[in-house]
Chains A and B, each alone.
Chain A
Amino acid sequence: MLIEARKLRKYFSLGHGKQVHAVDDVSLGIAEHEVLGLVGESGSGKTTFGKTLIGLYDKTGGQVVYRDRELPQRYQAQDYKRQASEIQMIFQDPYSSLNPRMTIQEIIAEGLLIRDGGNLGSVRDKVVYWLERVGLHGDHLSRYPHEFSGGQRQRVGIARALIVEPKLLICDEPISALDVSVQAQVVKLLGELKQSLGLAMLFIAHDLSMVRYVSDRMAVMYLGSLVEVGPADAVYFSPQHPYTKMLISSNPEPDPVHERQRKDVIVSGEIPSPVNLQPGCRFAGRCPLVEPHCRLETPMLRTVAANHLAACHLL
């Protein structure tokens, strides 16, 4: 494993003894050169998992091991500086994640300059190389973010992340703010870069068919806990956990005949509040198959097929 979370936990305190259980004892690893897709509804803790994994949030509990070395519980400035050349992140919103007062050159070079020192002139060739590598033009250097479209900005974000040649890229909903035709551009670019650079990626998204397309393995989170993980095709085509089944059957396919034959999906209720969760299966309140002991005992992940795990008492 390149990076591995062991019982990673992140709670946010609301005061008055209330805590949001954003990530609760999640154990999940990403191998070298692997793309792990992470899906779940909003509020399931997928973004918090990504940010806690790489130290943007302090951990409440558990460990993160990167190449056999445990990462600190709480990052200090030098930890960020050391980790940043190994792990980089691209963000959902290509509008707010780029500083509007910096030129493209300054944005892309910033990480490199912080790590290696030097000045803009000395890294110019490298910045031009990366701009062209992500499909922009070398003469865009002195432009500002507002001069670019959403898809182009996302490319700038990718160049900014990759210029330090990281081993792991955290992609937090990198395509959900983009139009369909542009989504495919960005996904293909990420795929090419993964191939040529040997990157590992954590690909967080809610578009199930896209996640299945880009990922080697797929993990499903619900209300802070990991409910299923396995090879992407296995999770997509033969989901085991009732929540994964509900998620995948709710996803409309671009195929009218298929949709006309669709039986109405029974999707009951909404994701409940993650404050002060009690033991028991997190999904019990919405599960069509719920049994009394589901509400008492927290199910553990167990193997249901080769490399395929799910956390449900009924499996």
Chain B
Amino acid sequence: MSSDIILEVDNLAVEFATFGGSVQAVRDVSFKLHKGTTLAIVGESGCGKSVTVQTLVGLIPMPPGRITAGSARLRGEELLGLSSDQLNRYRGKRIGMIFQDAMSALNPTMTIGDQIAETLLVHMGMSAAAARQEVIALLSQVQIPEPERRMRQYPFEFSGGMLQRAMIALSIACQPEVLIADEPTTALDVTIQAQILQLLESLQRSRGLSIILITHDLGVVARMAHEVAVMYAGQIVEQGSVDDIFYRSAHPYTLGLKAAMPGKTAQKAELHEIPGSPPDLFAPPAGCGFHARCPHVMQLCESKAPPLFGAAHQARCWLHHAQAPTHPLRQQLLATTGNGSC
């Protein structure tokens, strides 16, 4: 893995003002994205994964949203707190984004070709004729058959899989360094999902793209990710390499997620649900966000929030504290980092 850091997010915190009070959607999130790799952010609905990345590209309306702390740097340049003019210089150009629902993300009144050409005209200063050629090239790169004909069609004339391809073409048109993919295959069938994941992988190889992949599907994570961050209740509770997360899970929530999925082994292992539901982010619990659902909960967990323990492989769980009772989970973190203290 290259140590070339493209995007670095430190201690990001985002809250929303609502009638019911302020919702702390993202709390103290830090991660690094390395060149040419895929970082998967995994979590359940409401864990703050989409808000985290939407904040990076200025898609969170402010107000009601508010960034209360943190910084995010694209190759050293600060992204947070920019004006919308400044934002437009890199949004769509240096950071591309694809969304879950391509049908509502694209403009229904413009042809696919015009939408892709628009970004080329604005960001790359191309002539209309050059943009047209480029659109055809892009559409064939994302394996849309008959690009000359398809570019004159409207979104409603595309199937779900083809629309997702068109959106990928649009997002890579200006050769961004970073591609943010927010649940890109959730609305698609598995066969089409396999096609789209293969496409993203081959684009990553040919263009050296760095990808932030938001998903809730651990299968997709295993398929695509190099690094993984697991989010719960607005925080990253565990992060590390994909093998750390799957084979040396060090947080009870990650273990719970894995146990809640049926395996592929011939004998049917029992499914273990995680009891209860995520906490209310209007008033996040004083201690660990997961304590109410955690099978290993200790007294400390209810009152004091755990820090991230570990170095390359990190977990936000008191079980990793040197004074915590010995627990098999602790070995997981020690196995990878050789560093149990924080």
Contact = CB atoms under 8 A, between A and B. Distances in A.
A253 B260 contact: no
B192 A270 contact: yes
B53 interface: no
Interface in A3-47: 41-42
Given A184-B260, A209-B262, 19 more contacts: A42-B189, A180-B44, A180-B260, A180-B261, A185-B275, A206-B190, A210-B262, A213-B271, A233-B266, A250-B194, A253-B222, A254-B261, A255-B246, A256-B247, A258-B222, A259-B222, A259-B223, A262-B223, A267-B192
A249 B197 CA distance: 13
Contact of B190 (A152, A185, A247, A259): A247
B167 to A, nearest CB: 16
Contact of B216 (A180, A233, A247, A255): A180
28 contacts: A41-B190, A180-B216, A180-B218, A180-B260, A181-B256, A181-B257, A183-B260, A184-B259, A184-B273, A184-B274, A187-B271, A208-B190, A209-B263, A246-B191, A249-B194, A251-B219, A252-B193, A252-B194, A252-B217, A252-B222, A254-B218, A254-B222, A254-B261, A256-B246, A258-B222, A259-B223, A267-B195, A270-B192
A111 interface: no
Interface in B261-308: 261-264, 266, 268, 271-275, 277
B198 interface: yes
B45 interface: yes
B242 interface: yes
Interface residues of B, number: 44
Contacts of B32: none
B221 interface: yes
Contacts of B266: 233, 237
A179 interface: yes
B10 interface: no
A107 B60 CA distance: 37
A252 B264 CA distance: 10
B261 A267 contact: no
A180 B256 CA distance: 10
Interface of B: 44-45, 159, 161-162, 189-195, 197-198, 216-223, 225, 242-243, 246-247, 256-264, 266, 268, 271-275, 277
Interface residues of A, number: 41
A99 interface: no
A181 B44 contact: yes
Most chain A CB inside 10 Å of its own CB: which residue of B225, B242, B260 = B260
Nearest to B258: A254
Interface string A241-271: 0000011011111111111001011010011
A252 B44 contact: no
A265 B191 CA distance: 9
B219 A254 contact: yes
Given A182-B273, A184-B273, A267 B222 contact: no
Nearest to B244: A256
Contacts of B221: 254
A208 B242 CA distance: 23
A151 interface: yes
Given A213-B268, A267-B194, A255 B222 contact: yes
A252 B261 contact: no
A255 B44 contact: no
B289 to A, nearest CB: 14
A152 B247 CA distance: 32
Contact of B44 (A179, A251, A264): A179
A184 B246 CA distance: 19
Nearest to A213: B262
Most chain B CB inside 10 Å of its own CB: which residue of A41, A151, A181, A250 = A181
Nearest to A41: B189
Nearest to A150: B45
A283 to B, nearest CB: 11
A180 B278 CA distance: 12
A252 B188 CA distance: 13
Given A188-B273, A237-B266, A251 B190 contact: yes
A180 B274 CA distance: 9
